[in-house]
Structure 1
């Protein structure tokens, strides 16, 4: 599989979880890639999903999402 195809598949998984209301809560990086933890708080329980992202482009993509999530959580100045 080509690197661009792998990236698009990983990006699609990230986008799907975000669309479902998940937010990135934790990242653990190693030589195999990045394990990105997503959490969604529902009315009755908290749900968690973990994705292993191996492509550099997918890791850049989730980094930009994390930046925007953090920016939206900080108080306005």
Structure 2
């Protein structure tokens, strides 16, 4: 898979969860990329639903960093 296609695939996964109402909860970075933990609490359950994505491409990591900044601005 080309670099661009890998970036688009990872970006699409992130966008899919964000559009479903998930919020970025945590990021753990290591030499293999970043593990992005997304959380959704729809108010129906006491326990929020979590998903973890393994993000490898550097441009995808820049993309979710911009989403974190946007999310923090909306919270304040």
Q: What TM-score bracket applies, with the shorter chain setting the length?
A: over 0.9
Task: Determine the structure 1 residue equivalent to 2:65.
Answer: 63
Question: Any stretches of 5+ residues in structure 1 without a counterpart?
Answer: none
- 1:33, distance to aligned residue in structure 2 (A): 0.2
- 1:46, distance to aligned residue in structure 2 (A): 1.1
Task: Determine the structure 2 residue equivalent to 1:13.
Answer: 13
State the Cα deviation string for residues 1-59 of structure 1 (Å, max 9, x = none): 10100000000000000011000000000000000000000212410000000000000
TM-score (norm 1): 0.93
TM-score (norm 2): 0.94
Partners of 1:30 and 1:8 lie apart in 2 by 21
Question: Any stretches of 5+ residues in structure 2 without a counterpart?
Answer: none
Partners of 1:72 and 1:40 lie apart in 2 by 16
Structure 2 counterpart SS, 1:21: coil
Instruction: Please tell me the root mean square deviation across aligned C-alpha atoms, in Å.
Output: 0.7
Partners of 1:48 and 1:41 lie apart in 2 by 9
Count residues with an aligned counterpart.
74
Structure 2 counterpart SS, 1:26: strand
